[in-house]
Structure 1
């Protein structure tokens, strides 16, 4: 049999190819039409909906905290997590019928962990001033200040005496925010402003003479002075005054409101006073409680 195609046969084959191609183009256009097929929109919405990891939705309060932040969150002598804020979180969870889970975190990673759902609140002596646009907060519950601690024998007695000195603070801390913001002129007089991962090491460096001063929360200063009353001196003038609150992911107002109301009830029934007394030896006082 002769398989050689004649010119007419070739033309016919070519026309058939063009027809097939045109049908394919039309089919693709139909698939990519802006009018969605039935059920396609629902599928897209389901896939894109973000999972609600809030305590109100899950029934579990996952507390992100710095385990080196006494008296609010730290490792006790028995090797277990303890602290005023951790006990307070447990009391709130119990009152609201939630479970509570503690997650010791790298403080610098707190935002990533909160936004990913690995934790659903930051509760650890967390200053709200200057962070209002980044989190949804409970109402403030504790008064705080940013202060400076020096060695008792340093001869430093005022903020002005810090000129030419090395000052250290925790990375991403409220003290750092103040020294880079409202107190930037003061910080400009320092020989250097150092940052470190946690305050326990900062005070070890102060004790050794590696740095001249530590800028920190009032609660941290009170804890260190209670533990070493003859070693340190807190300067009288504070860098700033502020408040502690519980930080939640932006928009999680349901959980924030529930926690605030539970804190009010715990204050009314005397639980807050009991916890303040429990940690009084660490320098914590009920006098600084502000939520009525």
Structure 2
């Protein structure tokens, strides 16, 4: 009987060792210490393009402000860490993420199938897209078909550039590093229309409604999320939980009202 018990004890010990090795291998193979890394550093480093009002931009005192900035700060507070924002030009922001210049991009990133090949995202926290903006006295552009033969402005490396590149008949797509320059050229009639996220364009023309208007017809609608490196799932999941909590407690609604003048989450968007 003792012999039988001994055999069972030996088998149990072997199984425990095998199980322990298996867990160690799984942990080692996953290699995801992204949340632990941020917690240990006591801060989360976030890449932003600071030329995209009202989402992320510089105010008159050169402070970094905006809808995304307020949300990122609220998320960091939930995670118990500080925030360090790293302003980066949009045409290099995804390369900088992969080069580990920062932990994530919270800067109005449209979630596309192409981007999902190299990054992972939170669920959409707002919806954007591509709207057409023209001078207030323009009567020739009513929809996307009217863009044919025209010079159109957009920000470089955005989905607006991608959408416009697939449209036939446009005379020229003029690309800008920031939306402010694009709208300035529109106002000065160097271009005939600007394609941009509706929130960005609406904010820009808020005090210029007598000069610039938005066409009712949208080119498309796009989900916007926070982008992470593919291996950083733990950090993404923690960020998502914080966003969910902020939506539930009304913080996202308050931030929305502050920057847009209305609650984009009122219909569970």
- What residue ranges of structure 1 are gaps of 5+ in the alignment? 1-48
Structure 2 gap segments, 5+ residues each: 1-28
The structure richer in strand per residue is: 2
Give the corresponding residue for 2:45. Answer: 62
Distance 1:248 1:153, change over 3 A: same
Deviation string, structure 1 residues 187-245 (Cα, Å, up to 9, x no partner): 32111112111110000110111100111111112112213111112111111111110
1:143–1:290 contact (8 Å) kept in structure 2: no
Q: Please tell me whether the aligned partners of residues 135 and 247 of structure 1 are also in contact (alpha carbons under 8 angstroms).
A: yes
* Cα displacement (A) at 1:269: 1.1
Q: 2:109 aligns with which of 119, 126, 129?
A: 126
Distance in 2 of aligned mates of 1:289 and 1:242: 19
Aligned match of 1:83 = 66
Q: 1:233-290: per-residue Cα shift (whole Å, max 9, x none)?
A: 2111111111110001112111111111101111111111111121135xxx422578
Q: What's the secondary structure of 1:242's corresponding residue?
A: strand
Pair 1:107-2:90 in alignment: yes
Cα offset, 1:55, TM superposition: 5.0
Written as runs of structure 1 = structure 2, the 5 A alignment for 1:108-187 is 108-130=91-113, 131-155=115-139, 156-180=141-165, 184=166, 187=167
Measured against aligned partners, the alpha-carbon deviations of 1:81-107 in whole angstroms (never above 9, x if no partner) come to 011101100110110112211111111
Residues 266, 272 of structure 1: 8 Å contact kept: yes
Normalising to structure 1: TM-score of the pair? 0.75
The structure with the larger Rg is: 1
180, 185, 190: which one aligns with 1:205? 185
Contact 2:35–2:234, Cα closer than 8 Å, also in 1? no
Alignment equivalent of 2:248, drawn from 268, 271, 274: 268
Assess if the C-alpha contact under 8 Å between 1:73 and 1:84 holds in 2.
yes
Query: In angstroms, what is the RMSD of aligned CA positions?
Result: 2.0
CA–CA distance in structure 2, aligned partners of residues 213 and 243 of structure 1: 23
1:7 aligned partner: none
Change (3 A) 1:95 1:291: farther
- Aligned-partner Cα distance in 2 for 1:157–1:58: 48
- What residue number does 1:34 align with? none
Helix, strand or coil for the counterpart of 2:110? coil
Match of 1:95 in 2: 78
- Residues matched between the structures, number: 235
